[in-house]
Structure 1
Amino acid sequence: MSDEIKHECGLAFIRLRKPFSYYKQQYGTVMWGLNKLYLLMEKQHNRGQDGAGVAAVKLNVEPGNPFLNRIRSNANQPIADVFTKINQDVKDLEMYMPDCLEHPNVMKGHIPFLGELLLGHLRYGTQGKNNVEFCHPFIKRHTVPARNLALAGNFNLVNTDELFNLIDIDPGEFQKQSDLAAMMEVIHHFLVKADEENKGNLDVVSALRKAVKLFDGGFTVGGLIGNGDSFVFRDANGIRPAYYYVNEDVIVAASERAAIRTVFNVGENEVLELMPGQGVITKSDGTYSVEQILEPKERRACSFERIYFSRGSDEKIYKERTQLGYNLTEQVLNAVDHDLKHTIFSFIPNTAEVAFYGMWKGLDDYMKRVKIERILSWGNNIDPEKLSEMISRKVRIEKIAIKDVKMRTFITADSSRNEMVQHVYDITYGTVQKGLDTLVVIDDSIVRGTTLKQSIIRMLARLEPKKIIVVSSAPQIRYPDCYGIDMSKLGDFIAFRAAYELMKETGKEKCLQDMYERCKELQRMGQLHTENVVQQLYKPFTPEQISEKIAQLITPKEVKIPVQVIFQTIESLHHACPTNLGDWYFTGDYPTPGGNRVVNRAFINFMEGKNVRGY
């Protein structure tokens, strides 16, 4: 994605089902569980680079000894920082007891994070500050083991204020800035009640059912309880991803299927998807069950997981991203007047490479059909030289842009910083016939259009092509997200700005004012959640009109080369990604009422000139 957006988070959960001596004997190391947790987090490092954290619970600990430990980091490489510190405890112990690794019980007694229950988290800061206090897991401590809780998740909630009111808690300044703090208070509240009612036999499922039904948002959340129970649960619409794997040695859950498959070397069908509203509940004795925590609703799994966020090493995601590119073939061919002889295809940035391969395949299929038709039209009058020329025709592809990973836009003054941003990418000179070739580049999606305007279009224009066409494997992003992706300000979206400009150009300013007044009216009545008023902004215009305006907005004034923008259609998106139909950032069709509240509030903020979040 050329415009970086912070998104999602990553969850890693491990429950060891055997004594540490078993792992020493079977796998050669008592650190097997921690090693797997490290790998599980590293294989999901794409999901969060603002911070990382690990919590561990030890079973059957002597009274008075710590059984719940946590470590967090917001260093530049937070996963490495966390596990370096964990491993330092092992090195320190080895100094006094060189053969400690041969004694599992000694290791468990002295290494704080050598627990049977492990919870890892990777954070992108979508809410709250990026200091270490906001990194997951959060913990609640208590003298009663069953009332100790470690919690981490991939989620955003849009009703945190209401949550505090529901359990009659006056939140402090920290709680107001973190939706995990709100979730922690609610879950802990019901866990304590459950423990009070059934001392010694905590009913985790009942407590979660009472707590989780109060949450409005998209979420996958994992928790460790001090008595040895644990859980991972998913929202009712399946917005945020969750997968799990179970064998005799371990119970695992994570945000991405491919991470589990790689780390534990298992087949695709062995890793199961945690379905909407379900939870994996593990008891202190190592038994587990999959429970329906919430009544499942219409599946609205986030389509951005397939377009961009999840790593493409998952075979299904790879095929879907390829299909996204393939589906764009016809639009691209029409845009270049089917003149493949004078068109060069490339991709920016590297994450768009898989979609590029799909588009390339579609173009190649088209060229093969043309070759067959032309050759058949010659009948028996085939000239060998002409035939050779026809067969040798290929789709022209080039590595046009290379991102200079060493560049750092550290200058803060706007004019100087914009100059630096222009040079984030290097171009490959000599690839384009000046004034003759059209240049087509594909991106995962176009969010703000900032990098396109400040860097990429200027850079491509230096090659002096006849025309520049930017292709997005995602549809136009028109609405905020409030379920995990950091996209909450309407003014940030190039599609919104395009529609807004079209409104003004076509004399429809009164419509904008009417929308604003409608939002304010709904706000006064406490009904912001009942409808998406912002959908009215786009109704007067076709997607093609908005795309044309976007092309104008991302073209620097000094660039005289024509620029065109092509977007994936909603229908093609659903065709390519049939199991992830969550498309509210494209369509405005939110899966929960909180989404409407967020988009309407974001519009109010925009109209009032407030550069603040919509939730």
Structure 2
Amino acid sequence: MSDQIKHECGIALIRLLKPLSYYHKKYGTWKYGLNKLYLLMEKQHNRGQDGAGICCVKSELDPGNPYISRFRSVEPNPIKDVFDKVNKPLKKAKRNNFDINDPEWAENNFPFAGTLYLGHLRYGTFGKNSIDFTHPVMRQNNWKSRNLVLAGNFNLTNTDELFNVLLNLGQHPKAYTDTVTALEKVGHFLDEENQLLFRKYKNEGYDNNEISPLIEQNLDIQNILERASKDWDGGYAMAGLVGHGDAFVVRDPWGIRPAHYYADDEIVVVASERPVIQTVMNLQEDDVQEIGPGEGLIIKKNGKISREMIRVPHKRKSCSFERIYFSRGSDKAIYQERKQLGRLLTPIVLEAVDYDYENTVFSYIPNTAETAFYGLVDGVRNHLVDWKIDQIQKKNGSLSDKDIKRILSFEPRVEKIAIKDVKLRTFIADDASRDDLVAHVYDVTYGVIQKDKDTLVIIDDSIVRGTTLKKSILKILDRLKPKKIIVVSSAPQIRYPDCYGIDMARLDKFIAFNAAIELLKDNGKESLIQQVYKKCKEQENLPKEEMVNYVREIYKPFTAEEVSAKIAELLKPEDCNAEVEIVYQSIENLHKACPNDLGDWYFTGNYPTPGGNRVVNGSFINYIEGKDARAY
């Protein structure tokens, strides 16, 4: 994705099932769990660079000792900053001649020597980049079993409704965000569960000192999560710790946001991505399990692990952008799917170059498009096999050995065309100077393109805004003097806003939407824009369950090919000499390549939750009314 889009957050949870002394004896350090947490977070740094935080809960300390510790950071390298802060007391203790390698000393003196850890990496899609918006977030209480720590990869579309529910409960939330709303919602039912058990044991004659451990043993986490998440509309993978030592991870019923785990008799590990756990724990693919849509993974203080149904699962709509771009490409399935996305583009690309193998050069931008590029080249090679057979058969045995060798050795022309050499700081005030800097973000390889003869095919993960294409990539590629530049997107046209975790909330930021609007104007159908606006306004105050995505009507008069052609026209720089064509993946081929992850709302407008239709409705209203605001 040449345009930088902020997206998913990352979660990491560690639960050690043995005392720290066990890991010290077996692995040479009591920091085994803390070290694994660090690795889980570093291996997921692609999921969040705006902030990071970790929390440790200790379950066996005497009263009067702090048992919950947390550090968060929004520094430029937040993971390093967090762990530097965490380890600082150890360095001081070492200078004072304490035996910092002793697990017993560590457990009693070092805040982050525990058996339960929660880590988070933040990509901010909403709110300022400040500590206040950085997870884990906490809800504190003097009763251990009423303390709650929460971190998640989520966006809720109905924060307003949930906020009003909290007000009706008599609460006074400190902020109007889905994070605070989720924390207070879970916290409310955690309080209720505690109170219910307290009354039960009090009626049975237990005194207060006896009741606290009984509550901790019998707290029904499944019931708490069921009640708290009942009205949540959105995508979420949410992890939590309770102060006495219980832990949980809950996933939305559509499976929109990912979550995986591994468990043995020593440790439970949860992360957003499968290959992260494989790498950190040295595991095979089948060793790592997926937390199912609507499921909760619950780890009790006593080490009991269970998977419970929290919400009834709906039709699986896992985010296909995870497969196309966001997740690490080292996952076995994702790697194969990305190759298949490229391979399925072969027929349309070859048609676009008129099957001129000799005068076509294939490449990719950015580096994350490399896997799809391999698939495209595989597909071209397969077509070349048929071409070679045809060439040999045409000559009917009259070819010389030299001719046969030339035909058989013919391969697609593959080159490394563009390199993102440096990250230029484009903070110069005037727009003209800034655009000039943006145009130099990539360097190009000279001498591999035949001037005014070759067609250059460049594959990208997806084309969202098209800004980098217009202001940088197409300009630098044009310096090579190709006859034609074909930009190929391994994803379909992005037409609708996301509201489940990706920072794609405004319609006017999508080049496909802008192209459709221009096509309406070009074809004398501009009145349709106001008609759609009227329909959106008429349902503005309806319950989200009754709303319809009328924005689809903006695209309805045109084929995908017509929209693509208009996109090429809009993105071609004025001073670009080469012909420019934009080729997109089809929806049908997307589902062929990623059959288990059918979340395609940004391409089709088919939102898995009712809140999605409300968001697209609001986004279009904001566009017409000129409001620079999010629709949720």
| TM-score normalised by L of structure 2 | 0.95
Describe the SS at the equivalent of 1:100: coil
Structural mapping, 1:249-268, within 5 Å: 249-268=266-285
* Closer, same or farther: CA 526–276 of 1 in aligned 2, 3 Å: closer
Return the alpha-carbon distance in structure 1 between the equivalents of residues 173 and 58 of structure 2: 32
Structural mapping, 1:69-468, within 5 Å: 69-101=69-101, 103-167=102-166, 168=168, 175-176=175-176, 178-199=177-198, 200=215, 201-468=218-485
Describe the SS at the equivalent of 1:72: strand
Return the alpha-carbon distance in structure 2 between the equivalents of residues 472 and 174 of structure 1: 43
Describe the SS at the equivalent of 1:523: coil
Aligned to 1:512: 529
Deviations 1:362-409 (A, max 9, x none): 111111221123223433323111112112211001111011224222
Aligned to 1:64: 64
1:568 to 574, 585, 589: 585
Return the alpha-carbon distance in structure 2 between the equivalents of residues 263 and 310 of structure 1: 16
Work out whether residues 164 and 171 of structure 1, in 8 Å CA contact, stay in contact via their aligned partners in 2: no
Give the Å deviation of 1:114: 1.6
Which letter does structure 2 place at the counterpart of 1:493? F
Return the alpha-carbon distance in structure 2 between the equivalents of residues 476 and 436 of structure 1: 29
Return the alpha-carbon distance in structure 1 between the equivalents of residues 87 and 346 of structure 2: 51
Give the Å deviation of 1:141: 0.7
- Which stretch shows the higher mean deviation, 84-93 or 494-503? 84-93
Give the Å deviation of 1:528: 8.0
Aligned to 1:20: 20
Give the Å deviation of 1:260: 0.3
Return the alpha-carbon distance in structure 1 between the equivalents of residues 289 and 363 of structure 2: 36
Give the Å deviation of 1:89: 1.8
Work out whether residues 544 and 610 of structure 2, in 8 Å CA contact, stay in contact via their aligned partners in 1: no
Give the Å deviation of 1:202: 1.2
Deviations 1:245-284 (A, max 9, x none): 0000001111000000000001111100111000100111
Which letter does structure 1 place at the counterpart of 2:228? A
Residue 553 (structure 1) aligned with residue 570 (structure 2): yes
Deviations 1:41-95 (A, max 9, x none): 1111100000000011001110011111111000111111111111112111212
Aligned to 1:37: 37
Describe the SS at the equivalent of 1:465: coil
Aligned to 1:9: 9
Which letter does structure 2 place at the counterpart of 1:296? P
Give the Å deviation of 1:412: 3.5
* Closer, same or farther: CA 480–229 of 1 in aligned 2, 3 Å: same
2:602 to 571, 579, 585: 585
Work out whether residues 10 and 152 of structure 2, in 8 Å CA contact, stay in contact via their aligned partners in 1: yes
Aligned to 2:501: 484
Aligned to 1:472: 489
Aligned to 2:207: none
Return the alpha-carbon distance in structure 2 between the equivalents of residues 525 and 153 of structure 1: 29
Q: RMSD value over aligned CA atoms?
A: 1.3
Structure 1 unaligned residues grouped into runs of 5+: none
* Closer, same or farther: CA 184–431 of 1 in aligned 2, 3 Å: same
Which letter does structure 2 place at the counterpart of 1:147? R
Deviations 1:580-615 (A, max 9, x none): 110000000000000000001000000011121121
Describe the SS at the equivalent of 2:539: helix
- Which stretch shows the higher mean deviation, 376-385 or 474-483? 376-385
Work out whether residues 173 and 180 of structure 2, in 8 Å CA contact, stay in contact via their aligned partners in 1: no
Return the alpha-carbon distance in structure 2 between the equivalents of residues 87 and 557 of structure 1: 55
Work out whether residues 255 and 317 of structure 2, in 8 Å CA contact, stay in contact via their aligned partners in 1: yes
Structure 2 unaligned residues grouped into runs of 5+: 199-214
Return the alpha-carbon distance in structure 2 between the equivalents of residues 532 and 584 of structure 1: 11
Which letter does structure 2 place at the counterpart of 1:43? K
Deviations 1:139-177 (A, max 9, x none): 01100001101100001011111112223267878521x
Work out whether residues 356 and 442 of structure 1, in 8 Å CA contact, stay in contact via their aligned partners in 2: yes
Give identity over the alignment, percent.
54
Return the alpha-carbon distance in structure 1 between the equivalents of residues 180 and 165 of structure 2: 14
Give the Å deviation of 1:135: 0.5
Return the alpha-carbon distance in structure 1 between the equivalents of residues 87 and 544 of structure 2: 53
Aligned to 2:201: none
Give the Å deviation of 1:529: 5.4
Return the alpha-carbon distance in structure 2 between the equivalents of residues 207 and 470 of structure 1: 50
Describe the SS at the equivalent of 1:582: coil
Deviations 1:427-482 (A, max 9, x none): 11111111000011000000000000000111111111110100000000000000
Return the alpha-carbon distance in structure 2 between the equivalents of residues 80 and 454 of structure 1: 34
Give the Å deviation of 1:525: 4.0
Return the alpha-carbon distance in structure 2 between the equivalents of residues 83 and 74 of structure 1: 13
Return the alpha-carbon distance in structure 1 between the equivalents of residues 580 and 172 of structure 2: 51
Which letter does structure 2 place at the counterpart of 1:382? L
Work out whether residues 2 and 443 of structure 1, in 8 Å CA contact, stay in contact via their aligned partners in 2: yes
Work out whether residues 471 and 573 of structure 2, in 8 Å CA contact, stay in contact via their aligned partners in 1: yes
Give the Å deviation of 1:218: 0.2
Which letter does structure 1 place at the counterpart of 2:77? Q
Return the alpha-carbon distance in structure 1 between the equivalents of residues 336 and 224 of structure 2: 40
Which letter does structure 2 place at the counterpart of 1:291? E
Work out whether residues 544 and 611 of structure 2, in 8 Å CA contact, stay in contact via their aligned partners in 1: no
Which letter does structure 2 place at the counterpart of 1:113? F
Give the Å deviation of 1:344: 0.5
Return the alpha-carbon distance in structure 2 between the equivalents of residues 226 and 74 of structure 1: 25
Return the alpha-carbon distance in structure 2 between the equivalents of residues 171 and 463 of structure 1: 63
Return the alpha-carbon distance in structure 1 between the equivalents of residues 618 and 552 of structure 2: 13
Work out whether residues 93 and 110 of structure 1, in 8 Å CA contact, stay in contact via their aligned partners in 2: no
Return the alpha-carbon distance in structure 2 between the equivalents of residues 174 and 334 of structure 1: 58
Which letter does structure 2 place at the counterpart of 1:76? P
Return the alpha-carbon distance in structure 2 between the equivalents of residues 169 and 458 of structure 1: 58
Return the alpha-carbon distance in structure 1 between the equivalents of residues 144 and 516 of structure 2: 56
Which letter does structure 1 place at the counterpart of 2:265? E
Return the alpha-carbon distance in structure 2 between the equivalents of residues 86 and 535 of structure 1: 50
Return the alpha-carbon distance in structure 1 between the equivalents of residues 86 and 571 of structure 2: 47
Describe the SS at the equivalent of 2:573: coil
- Which stretch shows the higher mean deviation, 277-286 or 552-561? 552-561
Return the alpha-carbon distance in structure 2 between the equivalents of residues 286 and 92 of structure 1: 33
